[in-house]
Structure 1
Amino acid sequence: MYNSLLVTTAQHICTITINRPDKLNALNATVVEELGMAIDEIISNPDIQSAIITGAGPKSFVAGADISEFLTLNETEGAALAARGQAMVFTKIEQSPKPIIAAVNGFALGGGCELAMACHFRIAAEQAKFGQPEVNLGLIPGYGGTQRLTQLIGKGRALEMMMTGNMIDAATALQYGLVNHVVPAEMLLEKAIGLLTLINSKAPLAIAKCIAAANAVFDAGKDGYAVEVAAFGACFATADKQEGTTAFIEKRKPVFTGK
């Protein structure tokens, strides 16, 4: 089904591995299209509760876009490329009601940094490096990088990274708040799976509403507090709320059904 991805599911966790290690897993049109298909499958498949995105090989998560595809594009085509990628993949990941985390195993540059930032949070291997070096090509980030990097690490740091094109290492990314955890490479997927196993044990509808409410913080068209109030109220209509509160009173572990 996929030419550029390896997609597996175990224990309700889907792992998407971008599988172009000879190209440092660079994003091309095929990868973007297939990522969109894989995200659709994650969202629609009831057997999948959460997902991990990572890169094949020891060197790279995603080391940017396939620059050869840019050479012949004009202004209109460049804008269309960015809009299509945002709609097909990056916004879809960010708005997924199921948690999707990035396990960054190496270089996350350009579109790779943007892909990691579209995920709900990030875990990095110790050798990971992050950057938005598009200015070196006479370009800027086009897959949401100018927005998400600023949201995650603040305007000053984001502008410095984008305007210098400099990379930061995993320790700096942790200090900046770009990643949640830094672990040895051999523990990267174990850490990601452990976190998602814990998240998967919680109420799925409540998890989805946490994502939606947090996203509303950065949506100028929404009142985040109103989104929270509505989502909080909606939780009271779920069987999971009844199970969770009852289990708490009865001093037992809840068994959530996502209903």
Structure 2
Amino acid sequence: MSVKRTKNPVPDWIQVPHPEMQHCLVSFPRKHILLVTINRPQYRNCLPVTATIELGHLWKWYDSEPELRCAVFTGAGDKAFCAGMDLKERHDVLLTEEVALEYPSGQFGGMSNRTGKKPIIVACNGHAHGGGMEMLLNADVIFASPNADFRLPEVIRGVSALAGALPRAMMLFGNHRCMDIILTGRVLTLKEAVDWGFVKEVVPLDRLVDRAIEYAAEIAALAPDSVIISRLAAREAWEGAGISRATMRGQELWAENMLKSKNAEEGLRAYKEKRDPKWFPSHI
């Protein structure tokens, strides 16, 4: 069952309207910031295939909208950020022998294997299991509520987390921690997630989204070109290049565009004139 389509006012500083969303709410809590809320709390915010396709389109729109600089991603309710795939739908698909699910290039939620240009900050309001955990493993920064926990339970269901989670868990946690959670399907507790450096900060549920928005606003106040380039250059290593090659790739891909941009000129001029910079929209 899907939630009703909800229309949210689009501010006049947005140049192109966002794609229609059936399963998520889209809002703009501050200038330059996008807030996306999975709106299926009665199903612990699990995502059917149509929701993943919608989110794939939305994240591409976010990357292409010049006035948006940072996104916050959360779930409705107080139980779950995302319980993963809609398993009832998955079972029905298997029964019809239509095994291939038409996911976007970013995979689950348009995010679990997303490269993208701009950062996504997650406000994890409860548990993140299966595909929900896969999305978190590819998030940029994670804030979590005290009732949050994390899990890749696929081995319990007879499937495997092939939408990006397994190599990312290995990169983030190392071999032994990764194997512990992916081979048993056990719950990764919030304390472990903090100790392992996975969660940045634990925030009371009633303050969680506001805290994530405050953090996004810190990023949005910085040079938008520099944020995009710094993120992409760092991800060269995340995507498999060694440190030296990742450094060279960052220079090859971004150095010239960065130094010739209006924002580089503005940042340096503002420093010289001892004033706050006034950033231009990014068109990288």
Q: TM-score, normalised by structure 2?
A: 0.83
Residue pair 1:235, 1:241 contacting (<8 A) in 2 also: yes
Look up the SS of the partner of 2:107 in the other structure: helix
Q: CA RMSD in A?
A: 2.3
Match of 1:86 in 2: 107
> Which structure has the highest helix share of the two?
1
Corresponding letter in the other structure for 1:126: P
One of 133, 137, 148 as aligned partner of 1:128: 148
Distance 2:134 2:40 in 1: 18
User: Where does residue 79 of structure 2 map in the other structure?
Assistant: 59
Q: CA, structure 1 residues 87+225, in 2 after alignment: closer, same or farther (shift >3 Å)?
A: farther
Q: Structure 1, residues 146-180: CA drift from partner, whole Å, max 9, x if none?
A: 02222222221111111111112222111111122
Are 2:164 and 1:144 aligned?
A: yes
2:3 alignment partner in structure 1: none
**Matched AA of 2:250:** E
Give the corresponding residue for 1:236. Answer: 259
Question: Residue type of the partner of 2:274?
Answer: K
Match for residue 227 of structure 1?
Answer: 249
- The alignment partner of 1:101 has SS state of strand
After the TM superposition, list the runs of 4 or more consecutive aligned residues in structure 1 that deviate by more than 3 angstroms.
76-85
Residue 43 of structure 1: aligned partner: 63
Q: 2:134 aligns with which of 104, 107, 114?
A: 114
**Matching residue of 1:205:** 225
Of 131-140 and 226-235, more deviation after overlay is shown by 226-235
For residues 120-166 of structure 1, the C-alpha deviation after alignment (integer angstroms, 9 at most, x for no partner) is 22111111111101100122112211022222222211111111111
C-alpha change, 1:227 and 1:103, in structure 2 (3 Å) is same
Residue 249 (structure 1) shift = 2.6
Match of 2:279 in 1: 256
Whether 2:214 is the aligned partner of 1:191: answer: no
Mean CA deviation greater in 53-62 or 246-255: 246-255
Gapped runs of 5+ residues in structure 2? Answer: 1-19
CA–CA distance in structure 1, aligned partners of residues 59 and 104 of structure 2: 17
Q: Kindly, what percent of the aligned residue pairs are identical? A: 31
Asked if the contact 1:104–1:122 (Cα under 8 Å) also holds between the matched residues in 2, the reply is yes
Query: How far apart, CA to CA, are the structure 2 residues paired with 1:220 and 1:77?
Result: 32
Contact 1:126 1:171 in 2 (8 A): no
Aligned in 2, Cα 1:159/1:204: closer, same or farther, shift over 3 Å? Answer: same
Letter in 2 for 1:3: Q
Paired residues of 1:82 and 1:142 also in contact (CA < 8 A) = no
Query: Could you tell me which amino acid in structure 2 is paired with residue 95 of structure 1?
Result: T
Aligned CA distance change for structure 1 residues 47 and 241 (closer, same or farther; 3 Å): closer
2:26 maps to a residue whose letter is: V
Structure 1 59/173 Cα, relative in aligned 2: closer, same or farther at 3 Å? same
Q: Which residue of the partner structure matches residue 73 of structure 1?
A: 94
